[in-house]
C-alpha cells in the first residue's frame, strides 16, 4: 500500500501482528467430563456418546457406539431400570431424557434393518468357557469373541437367555426380540451348548481345553419361607411359575392367586397370573409401598391392571383354599413388627416371590474359592479366588438386574482378555463428573419428555402383548435431541461464536475446536457460554 496516506490509512486485518494472548492470566481448555448417565449405567454404556449420533439421525452409528459396551439394546430398552435417567441432569431442568426409549428404538431399528456386529479381528488362539447363557454370560461371550477369543457357552436350560427368558414375562420382553439379539451374538462364531449342565467346572475346562472360564449361572432357585401349610395347600415359587410360562404346560394357579413378596419378581408373577385368567391376584407384602423394593412404575402398571396389594401383612398359615395373615406395623426403624391381629384370605394358590438362591454345585471342590451369603466372592477384576475362573451376574454379590449382569460380562471379558494375554487391564481413568451447575441450560430448547405409548389396561389383563410401546423415528429423534450432552462438546459453535477475539478455531464437522492462544485474552466467555460444560479455565503458569 505504498501510495496510500502515511499512518492514517492502514492495511486491513493487520492487527494480527498484535498477539493479545500475552494479556492472559487464565486459559480456557477443552475437556470431556463424565456425563451422569454414563456414570450411572451398570453396563458402562457411553450413553451421551450414542445419543450424539442418534441426534443427527445416524442411528446405525449410534447403535454401533452403543453395542461397543452392550450387545442388547432392544432388550435393555425394555427391561433396564435405567438408572441413567435417574441421574440425568435434564431431570433438574424439566424431565430426564428418555434414554431407555431411544435405546429400545435403536435396538428395534437394528433388528428391523438387520445390522450385524463387526466380525472379530485377529484370533488369540485362547479358549474361554462361559457357563450360563443369561445376560452376563452372553455379554461376556460377546466381548470375549470380539477380543479375538474362542468362546463356548454351556447352559443347563433348554433355551438361551437365562432370566431374560425364564424370569421376565414376555409382555415386558417379547421373545422374538430376545432371540434376535442372542442370535446376533452367536453369529460372532460362539458355540452355544444348551441342556449342558456343568457339573464341575474344573472337569469341564479340562475336557474342553479351556484357558479360562466365566461363570454366570444366575440365581434360579426360589427361596422358600417356612409357612405351616395344610397338605392340600398349593404353594409354588415365582421363578418356577415364570419358567414354566416358557414351556408347553402353563402353570395352573386357579382363580384367586396370592403372591407373597415385594420385589419386581412378585409384580411380574402377579401380572402373569392375571393374564393367565386369575380373577383376583393379590400381592401380600409385609411393609408399605414406600418400602417396597419393586420399581414404582411396575407397581403402578400392576395396579392399573387390577392387581391388588395387601400391605403390612405376613402369611402365617396356608390352607387348601385360604390363608391366615397377620397384620404388621412398622417400628421406629421402619421394620415390620407383628401385631397379633390375624385375618383370613381366600386363595387357590400361593406364589412365593421371596428372592432366589444360586446353584453353586458346579464349584464343588474348586480350590481357593470364597463363598459368602450363598454367592461367590470375586475381586475387582471379577476373578474368583481360583486363577482363571471368573464370575459375574446374580451369582456374585450385586444388585440382581439384567443390566448389572451385562456390565459384569463386559468387565470380566476385559480382565479375562488381559489375564489370557498375561497383561494387566487398566481401566481408563474416569473423567471428572459433569455436574448440572457446569451447564448453561439457557441454550437448550424447552422440550418435555416424550411418553411411550402404553397398551390399553383391559387388553393388558388378558394378553401377553407387550405393554409398553416404542417410539417412532420422529419422537425417538426428538427424545435423543433432548440430551444436554453434559460435559461433552456437541459442536454448537458457541465458543467459536462468543469469543470477542476470534481466538477459537473451528476444525469442521466432527473435529471440534481449538483455541488460538496467540490471541485468546482469557476472558472466559467461552466457558460461561458453553452449554454443556466442556471447557474450563486453568491458571496460566508463570
Smallest distance from the beta carbon of 446 to other proteins, in angstroms?
Answer: 8
Is 62 or 145 the residue whose CB approaches other proteins more closely? 62
The Cα 492–Cα 529 span in angstroms is 11
CA–CA gap between residue 325 and residue 308 (Å, rounded): 15
Distance CA 269, CA 253 (A): 11
> 154 burial class (0-12, 13-18, 19+ CB within 10 angstroms)?
buried
Closer to other proteins at the Cβ: 20 or 398? 20
Q: In this complex, which beta carbon is closest to other proteins, that of residue 257 or of residue 471?
A: 471
Footprint of other proteins (CB under 8 A): 1, 3-20, 23, 55-56, 442-445, 447, 478, 481-483, 485, 490-494, 496-503, 506, 508-509, 516, 518-519, 521-525, 527-529, 531
Query: What cell numbers appear for 293 in the block?
Result: 423394593
- What is the smallest separation between the CB atom of 56 and other proteins, expressed in angstroms? 6
Neighbouring-strand partners of residue 513 = 506
Judge contact between 73 and 107, C-beta under 8 A. yes
Q: How far is the CB of 448 from other proteins (least distance, A)?
A: 11
Smallest distance, Å, CB 23 to other proteins? 7
User: How are beta strands 127-131 and 150-154 bridged, if at all?
Assistant: parallel
Work out how close the CB of 521 gets to other proteins at its nearest, in angstroms, rounded to a whole number.
4
Q: Is the C-alpha dihedral spanning 484, 438, 29, 26 positive or negative?
A: positive
Q: Which is nearer to other proteins, 87 or 477 (CB)?
A: 477
Query: Please, what is the minimum distance in Å from the beta carbon of residue 489 to other proteins?
Result: 10
Burial 479-497 (b: 16+ CB within 10 A, else e): bbbbbbbbbbbbbbebbbe
CB 488 within 8 A of CB 38: no
Q: Answer for the pair 221, 163: CB distance below 8 angstroms, yes or no.
A: no
The minimum distance between CB 126 and other proteins, in angstroms, equals 42
Nearer Cβ to other proteins, position 68 or 523?
523
Nearer Cβ to other proteins, position 464 or 517?
517
What angle is formed at CA 153 by the lines to CA 149 and CA 156, rounded to 5 degrees? 170
For residue 476, the minimal CB distance to other proteins (Å) is 14
Residue in the structure block whose three cell numbers are 415365582: 238
Cα–Cα distance between 142 and 71 in angstroms, integer?
Answer: 7
CB of 364 or CB of 493, closer to other proteins: 493
Cα 407 versus chain centre, distance: 8
What cell does 356 get?
A: 432366589
In the 8-state DSSP scheme, what is residue 60? H
**56 versus 398: smaller Cβ distance to other proteins:** 56
- Angle, helices 135-146 vs 402-421, to 10°: value is 40
Smallest gap from Cβ 487 to other proteins, in A, equals 15
Residue whose CB is less far from other proteins, 383 or 535: 535
Measured between alpha carbons, how far is 190 from 424 in angstroms, rounded to an integer?
25
What is the enclosing helix (H) or strand (E) of 538?
strand 535-539
| Shortest CB 435 distance to other proteins, Å | 18
Of 26 and 359, which CB lies nearer to other proteins in the complex structure? 26
Amino acid at each position: 500500500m505504498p501510495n496510500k496516506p502515511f499512518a492514517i490509512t492502514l492495511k486491513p486485518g493487520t492487527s494480527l501482528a498484535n498477539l493479545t494472548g500475552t494479556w492472559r492470566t487464565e486459559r480456557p481448555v477443552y475437556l470431556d467430563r463424565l456425563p451422569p448417565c454414563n456414570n450411572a449405567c451398570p453396563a458402562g454404556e457411553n450413553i451421551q456418546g450414542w445419543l450424539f449420533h442418534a441426534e443427527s439421525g445416524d442411528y446405525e452409528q449410534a447403535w454401533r457406539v452403543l453395542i461397543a459396551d452392550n450387545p442388547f439394546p432392544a432388550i435393555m430398552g425394555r427391561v433396564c431400570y435405567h438408572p441413567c435417567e435417574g441421574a440425568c441432569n435434564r431431570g433438574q431442568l424439566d424431565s430426564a431424557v428418555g434414554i431407555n426409549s431411544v435405546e429400545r428404538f435403536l435396538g428395534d431399528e437394528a433388528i428391523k434393518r438387520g445390522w450385524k456386529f463387526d466380525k472379530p479381528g485377529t484370533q488369540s488362539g485362547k479358549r474361554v468357557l462361559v457357563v450360563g447363557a443369561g445376560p452376563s454370560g452372553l455379554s461376556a461371550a460377546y466381548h470375549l469373541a470380539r477380543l479375538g477369543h474362542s468362546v463356548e457357552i454351556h447352559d443347563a436350560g433348554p433355551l438361551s437367555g437365562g432370566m431374560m427368558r425364564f424370569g421376565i414375562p414376555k409382555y415386558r420382553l417379547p421373545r422374538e426380540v430376545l432371540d434376535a439379539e442372542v442370535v446376533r451374538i452367536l453369529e460372532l462364531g460362539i458355540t452355544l451348548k444348551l441342556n449342558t449342565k456343568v457339573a464341575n467346572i474344573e472337569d469341564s475346562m479340562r475336557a474342553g481345553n479351556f484357558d479360562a472360564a466365566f461363570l454366570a449361572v444366575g440365581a434360579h432357585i426360589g427361596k422358600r419361607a417356612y409357612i405351616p401349610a395344610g397338605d392340600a395347600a398349593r404353594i409354588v415359587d415365582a421363578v418356577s411359575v415364570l419358567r414354566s410360562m416358557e414351556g408347553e404346560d402353563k402353570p395352573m394357579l386357579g382363580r384367586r392367586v396370592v403372591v407373597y413378596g415385594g420385589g419386581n419378581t412378585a409384580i411380574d408373577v402377579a401380572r402373569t397370573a392375571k393374564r393367565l385368567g386369575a380373577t383376583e391376584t393379590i400381592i401380600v407384602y409385609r411393609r408399605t409401598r414406600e418400602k417396597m423394593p419393586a420399581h414404582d412404575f411396575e407397581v403402578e402398571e400392576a395396579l392399573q391392571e387390577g392387581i391388588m396389594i395387601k400391605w403390612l401383612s405376613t402369611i402365617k398359615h396356608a390352607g387348601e383354599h385360604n390363608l391366615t395373615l397377620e397384620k404388621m406395623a412398622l417400628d421406629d426403624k421402619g421394620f415390620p413388627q407383628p401385631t397379633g391381629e390375624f385375618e383370613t384370605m381366600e386363595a387357590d394358590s400361593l406364589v412365593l416371590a421371596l428372592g432366589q438362591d444360586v446353584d453353586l454345585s458346579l464349584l464343588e471342590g474348586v480350590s481357593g474359592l470364597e463363598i459368602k451369603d450363598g454367592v461367590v466372592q470375586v475381586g475387582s477384576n471379577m476373578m474368583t479366588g481360583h486363577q482363571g475362573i471368573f464370575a459375574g451376574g446374580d451369582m456374585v454379590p450385586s444388585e440382581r438386574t439384567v443390566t448389572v449382569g451385562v456390565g459384569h460380562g463386559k468387565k470380566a471379558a476385559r480382565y479375562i482378555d488381559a489375564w489370557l494375554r498375561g497383561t494387566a487391564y487398566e481401566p481408563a481413568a474416569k473423567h471428572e463428573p459433569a455436574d448440572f451447575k457446569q451447564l448453561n441450560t439457557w441454550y437448550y430448547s424447552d422440550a418435555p419428555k416424550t411418553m411411550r405409548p402404553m397398551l390399553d389396561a383391559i387388553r393388558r389383563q388378558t394378553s401377553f402383548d407387550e405393554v409398553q410401546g416404542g417410539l417412532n423415528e420422529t419422537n425417538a429423534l426428538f427424545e435423543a435431541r433432548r440430551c444436554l450432552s453434559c460435559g461433552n462438546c456437541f459442536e454448537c459453535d458457541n465458543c467459536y461464536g462468543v469469543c470477542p477475539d476470534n481466538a477459537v478455531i473451528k476444525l469442521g464437522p466432527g473435529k471440534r475446536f481449538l483455541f488460538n492462544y496467540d490471541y485468546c485474552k482469557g476472558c472466559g466467555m467461552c466457558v460461561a457460554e458453553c452449554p454443556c460444560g466442556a471447557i474450563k479455565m486453568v491458571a496460566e503458569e508463570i
